[in-house]
Amino acid sequence: MDFIDLKTQYRRIKPSVDARIHQVLDHGAYVMGPEVTELEQVLAKYVGNKHCVSVASGTDALMIALMALDIGPGDEVITAPFTFFASAEVIALVGATPVFVDVDPRTYNLDPAQLEAAITPRTKAVMPVSLYGQCADFDAINAIACRHNLPVVEDAAQSFGATYKGRKSGALSLIGATSFFPSKPLGAYGDGGALFTDDDRLAKLMREIRLHGQDRRYHHPRLGLTGRLDSIQAAVLLAKMEIFDDEVAARIRLGARYSELLRAAFADKPDAIRIPYIEPFNTCVYAQYTIEVASRDIFETRMKALGVPTAIHYPIALHLQPVFAHLGLREGHFPVSEAAASRVISLPMHPYLTEEQQAEVVAAVREAVG
């Protein structure tokens, strides 16, 4: 069994993906080719934003957003400590200081109730993460940020396709930034990412920053990056968008089914594991289907012996990463994130999981928990 099965998906879209890749090989515009513009139109329409700016990775998307907001040394940006490293890395890469706000223990997303206390005169942006494929509580976060005149950037790397109160992830704040890493809900065959906004000025700036800060050929009013999405990756993503609604529906169905099966398997000891909690106003795309167990090391070893792959997203809360030691944050500062980091473990999840495979995973979980 694969943790994420990309080969079955490829077999499904092979004619379309092969044809589109060959078109790029034929026309030869490998960088900024027509597929890039076409993809940006498709994605902007899908998310419901005026602008989509495709970029080279999710990390570049977040960094370009911060650069467009003119964030740099002396500034603070608020994010969650329980996320993939890149969420805080980009804040430090632009020279600003990451300021962490602990997460809600049920959703693992930035806890709006703790946000206001972390805002200082140096705060320049709030960057909540929509972890595991479920959006953070953007109405609550936007309201607080708005009171303090702060822009909000959604780290939507794991939540492309998810909805919050009927609106799409990526379109829930001033800027949304997503990733097309192959294992993401919408994944390329290499690295990729995208930015979303309704703001004309920010969209123009972000387009310039992804191209070395160039506003016209060889004229650079600001610094930027080589941050473009390749035409071949855009071609792959266009082929995948043809089946994306169907895949999102499968993810939602399979996630709910996992929860149902796990609840039934642990009916006699419901406290032995924690299954994902999805807010009633959210749909989750389950970039990861992540549970909590008490003795994770033993559980992990047993699952491996039973032939079921697992992964840990993420074993160390970001405030405890060696590179952030200078921030002076220690164990105990963000107890919810620290507890989650010591207990979470993700099960195989992708739109092509069969009922038999899900049953096999659940049986293994029950056996591994003991």
Confirm or reject binding of residue 134 to ligand PLP (CB under 6 A).
Answer: no
* Contact range with ligand PLP by CB under 6 A, out of 31-39, 57-65, 100-108, 340-348: 57-65
Contact between 54 and ligand PLP by CB under 6 A: the answer reads no
**Which stretch, 55-63, 165-173, 253-261, 294-302, contacts ligand PLP (CB under 6 A)?**
55-63
- Please select the residue that binds ligand PLP; options are 81, 128, 176, 193, rule is CB under 6 A: 193
Q: How far apart are CA 347 and CA 366, in angstroms?
A: 13
H or E, element range at 346? strand 344-347
Exposure b/e, 149-173, CB count within 10 A at least 16 = b? ebbbbbbbbbbbbbbbeeebbbbbb
Query: What string marks each residue from 151 to 170 as x (binds ligand PLP by CB under 6 A) or -?
Result: ----x-xx------------
The whole-angstrom separation of Cα 347 and Cα 360 is 11
Is 318 in contact with 81 (CB distance < 8 Å)?
yes
Which tokens is 246 given?
A: 């169907």
SS3 call for 78: strand
Cα separation, 55 vs 207, in Å, equals: 9
| Residue 129 near ligand PLP by CB under 6 A | yes
Question: Residue 220 and residue 231: Cα distance in Å, rounded?
Answer: 24
- Binding to ligand PLP, residues 60-89 (CB under 6 A): 83-84, 86-87
The single residue among 4, 47, 52, 58 that binds ligand PLP, judged by CB under 6 A, is 58
In the list 49, 57, 134, 197, the residue contacting ligand PLP (rule: CB under 6 A) is 57
Q: Which stretch binds ligand PLP (CB under 6 A): 24-32, 56-64, 266-274, 341-349?
A: 56-64
- Spatial CB neighbours of 360, under 8 Å, sequence gap ≥ 6: 1, 308
CB of 14 to ligand PLP, least distance (A): 24
Read off the DSSP letter of residue 60.
Answer: H
Q: Exposed, middle or buried, 62 (CB in 10 Å: 0-12/13-18/19+)?
A: buried
**Sign of torsion over alpha carbons 24, 27, 30, 36:** negative
Shortest distance in whole angstroms from residue 65 CB to ligand PLP:
11
Specify the residue, 62 or 368, whose C-beta has the smaller distance to ligand PLP: 62
The correct pick among 191, 208, 292, 338 for binding ligand PLP (CB under 6 A) is 191
- State which residue, 179 or 197, has the beta carbon closest to ligand PLP: 179
Nearer to ligand PLP, 84 or 286 (CB): 84
- According to CB under 6 A, which residues from 311 to 340 bind ligand PLP? none
The full DSSP string for 89-141 is HHHHHTT-EEEE-PBPTTT-SB-GGGTGGG--TTEEEEE-B-GGG----HHHH
Nearer to ligand PLP, 101 or 273 (CB): 101
100 versus 262: smaller Cβ distance to ligand PLP: 100
Q: In the range 87-106, which residues lie near ligand PLP by CB under 6 A?
A: 87
Binding site for ligand PLP (CB under 6 A): 57-59, 83-84, 86-87, 129, 155, 157-158, 179, 181, 191, 193
